[in-house]
Amino acid sequence: MSPFGIMSLSIFLLFCCIGLFSLFIDYSMSGYMRAQEEEYARAKARSAAQFVQALAGDLSSPHTQKRVNQERFLPLQSEIGRLAENVGSRITIISESGIVLADSDMSVYQLLNADNHAERSEVRAALETGTGVSERSSPTLGVDYLYYAVRFERAGETLISRVAVDLESLYLQQTRLRQLLTIGMVFGIALVGLITFSLARALARSVEHSRKRLEARVTERTATLRQLQELGTLLAVCNSLSEASEVLAVQLPQLPPGTRGALSLMNNSRDMMIVEQEWGGRWTKGSFVSPGSCWSLRKNSMHWSEDNSLVCDHLKDEADKDVLCVPLIAQGDILGVIHLCQKAGGAFGNMELEIAQAISKEAAIALSNLNLRETLEQQALHDPLTGLHNRRFLEEKFDTFIEKATRADQNFWLLVVDIDHFKTYNDKYGHDAGDFVLVELATLFRKSIRNSFTACRLGGEEFALLLPDLDEAKALEFAEQLRRSVENMRLRFEGQPLGQITISGGLAGFPKDGSNLSSILRPADERLYHAKGLGRNRICKDLLVDELTDPRFSQPAKTAQRH
């Protein structure tokens, strides 16, 4: 064989070796890139599943695809679209029956006319084994896609999270790899190996970096959603506005983190905003400003004051004017403002602004509900005419008073009083005069009782006073002083004197007369009527009265009793 032949054979064998090696490298790298693409798609699908699990609301599957336009699915379609933009892939959420609940690449109209996906191979595989993968070409776009589906559970509902990855970039990478291998056949095995190794390392680092960045974004978003959900839960179980403001003071510094701020609530007269809570040390708790000094309340939307923009009046004397004001508005009612600024200065990003907006909605609804509840409780437990507690308050709170008296091993007295001849006032002076007497009597009761005592209007002209921590003598002494105070009242209505007003009362106590409201109220009523039968304008603590020693027992009264 000639040297040319030997060289040709050597070159041929070399190129054959290089070609086989290149084919092997091509096969291995294509498989590796395909595996990495599947791993990347699986990470996206699982991240999307975790994201959907964290969303609030009812996502139970409808019976038909046409019913996906219900309002409860609109937030899902919107959030899936945002997540798809972040991960750079198409995301589809599918029910167990194959109904498409959301698709990042579909409009609402397309979603309503989407085909049932129950028979898609990746969907069937995911329902059977938990994950499914398939590759097929889109007939409309003419592009090959890698579909990766993951099954997950949410609120007892089985759902499928599917990610579609465009394989064009993978094919392009494979083509470039083959070109490099071809060049390697010319420049030598060493160069080919070096380029292949470098390419593989670069590709692996790129995939790993992208995966970590995606996981970090999804983790951050999921954590924020969990915190918002926790905030909503805590606000929902608050029993008062003070509790709600404390919850906001704890939760707001974390959403968004690294902020200073304050919570200002509108006062009852609606003319001042008072700082209820603050964090970060910039605002002074208890300080106040006029509602008209904040642009967010004028606009009914967030307002970001900056040195070179429109600054709220309540910030003009501040050195740092870079403050975000978020109004708390529910059903058109202005409840207050949340003020936020960055501890290290700087601007708020879009994510922080979205979080602030979400917080304001949660807080406004919760505060509005608490306001309404307090108003309803006030109306339900107070008499609208006199402002005293009513019979319902007595029925609901009486056991609490008894329990406190039991724990402290103290007596507890119930004084029931009734205005004598009250019908006469209504008949002689009119019902307005009668109402005036009731109001004045309630005012006297409020001035006469201690902080621990409670006055209630049972109905009509009948009142009840709760007297804890007194012995029988002290309770009777208080009742007598109250009776004398009423007896000494001199009332005039519209310039006309109303004459003398007197009351009669019955005194009963715990544990002497009973252990609950009905058992104590019964003897108190009996003693009240007994006092009226003895001539009125007296307090009875039992049904036996010594007529000779009672100074209020006049001779005419005794004669009347005998007859």
Among 208, 223, 256, the domain boundary falls at 208
Q: Looking at residue 409, what is its pLDDT?
A: 81
Single-letter code of the amino acid located at 274: I
| CATH code assigned at 8 | 3.30.450.20
Q: The dihedral of CA 526, 527, 528, 530: what is its sign?
A: positive
DSSP string spanning 379-435?
A: HHHB-TTT-SEEHHHHHHHHHHHHHHHHHTT--EEEEEEEETTHHHHHHHH-HHHHH
Residue 33 lies in a domain: yes
The pLDDT tens digits for 171-214 are: 677 677 767 767 766 776 555 556 656 766 776 777 778 878 87
**pLDDT tens digits for 290-344?**
888 888 888 888 888 875 678 888 877 776 667 888 888 877 787 888 888 876 6
Which of 258-262, 380-384, 436-440 holds the top average pLDDT? 436-440
Is the same domain home to 55 and 171?
yes
Q: How far apart are CA 96 and CA 111, in angstroms?
A: 17
pLDDT tens by residue, 151-166: 999 888 899 999 888 7
Query: Does 137 lie in the same domain as 172?
Result: yes
Please say whether the beta carbons of 155 and 60 come within 8 A: yes
User: Total domain count for the chain?
Assistant: 3
pLDDT higher than threshold 90 for residue 527: yes
The answer to whether residue 464 sits within a structural domain is yes
- 51-64 b/e with 16+ CB inside 10 Å = b? bbbbeeeebebbee
pLDDT band at 71 (very low <50, low <70, confident <90, very high): confident
Return d(Cα 451, Cα 441) in angstroms, integer: 18
Given a cut of 70, is residue 135 above it in pLDDT?
Answer: yes
Question: Is 275 or 348 the better-scoring residue by pLDDT?
Answer: 275
Say if residues 462 and 388 touch (Cβ distance below 8 Å).
no
CA 557 vs CA 161, 294, 423: distances in Å: 91, 71, 21
Nearest to 441 by CA among 427, 470, 462, 411: 462
- pLDDT recorded at residue 463: 93
Active site residues: 461
> What confidence category does residue 502 fall into, taking pLDDT thresholds of 50, 70 and 90?
very high
Q: What are phi and psi of 319, to 5 degrees?
A: -70, -40
Nearest to 253 by CA among 180, 337, 341, 329: 341
Which amino acid belongs to residue 83?
L
Question: What are the residues whose beta carbons fall under 8 Å from the beta carbon of 394, sequence distance 6 or more?
Answer: 456, 458, 464, 466, 517
Q: How does residue 481 score in pLDDT terms, banded at 50, 70 and 90? A: very high
Same structural domain for residues 8 and 148? yes
Residue 379's pLDDT band (cuts 50, 70, 90): low
pLDDT band at 483 (very low <50, low <70, confident <90, very high): very high
Instruction: Let me know whether 354 and 476 are in one domain.
Output: no
**CATH code at 282?**
3.30.450.40
Q: Are 8 and 79 within one domain? A: yes
User: Whole-angstrom distance between the N-terminal and C-terminal Cα of the chain?
Assistant: 158
Has residue 193 been placed in a domain?
A: yes
On average, the pLDDT of the chain sits at: 78
Residues 368 and 327 in one domain: yes
Residue range of the domain that includes 280: 241-373
- Long-range residue pairs from 139-143, CB within 8 A, at least 24 positions apart, any chain: 143/167, 143/168
Whichever domain contains 536, its CATH number is 3.30.70.270
> Has residue 344 been placed in a domain?
yes
Specify which residues 158 forms β-bridges with: 153
| pLDDT at site 554 | 35
Residue 352 shares a structural domain with residue 425: no
Domain boundary among 152, 187, 208: 208
pTM: 0.42
Higher pLDDT, 161 or 555: 161
Residues 441 and 311 in one domain: no
Assigned domain for 466 exists: yes
Domain membership of residue 472 (yes or no) is yes
Residues 462-480: pLDDT tens digits?
999 998 888 888 989 999 9
Band (pLDDT 50/70/90 cuts) for residue 557 is very low
Among 64-68, 272-276, 283-287, 388-392, name the most confident range: 388-392
Q: 135 with 63, same domain?
A: yes
Residues near 442 by beta carbon (within 8 Å), at least 6 away in sequence: 383, 386, 387, 388, 455, 457, 463
Q: Residue 449 has what pLDDT?
A: 82
Q: Which of 323, 343, 373 is the last residue of a domain?
A: 373
Inside any domain, residue 176: yes
Alpha-carbon torsion (393, 397, 401, 406), positive or negative: positive
Whether the upstream peptide bond of residue 523 has omega within 30° of 0, thus cis, is: no
DSSP strand pairing (492-493 vs 144-154):
unpaired
Assigned domain for 458 exists: yes
Q: How far apart are CA 166 and CA 163, in angstroms?
A: 10
Query: Are 155 and 265 part of one and the same domain?
Result: no
Shared-domain flag, residues 191 and 266 = no
pLDDT at residue 416 greater than cutoff 90: yes
pLDDT at 559: 29
At residue 308, the pLDDT reads 60
Q: What phi and psi values does residue 146 have, to the nearest 5 degrees?
A: -100, 120
Residues 305 and 412 in one domain: no
State the average pLDDT over residues 92-111: 86
Angle at Cα 282 formed by Cα 340 and Cα 252, nearest 5°?
A: 40
pLDDT at 319: 66
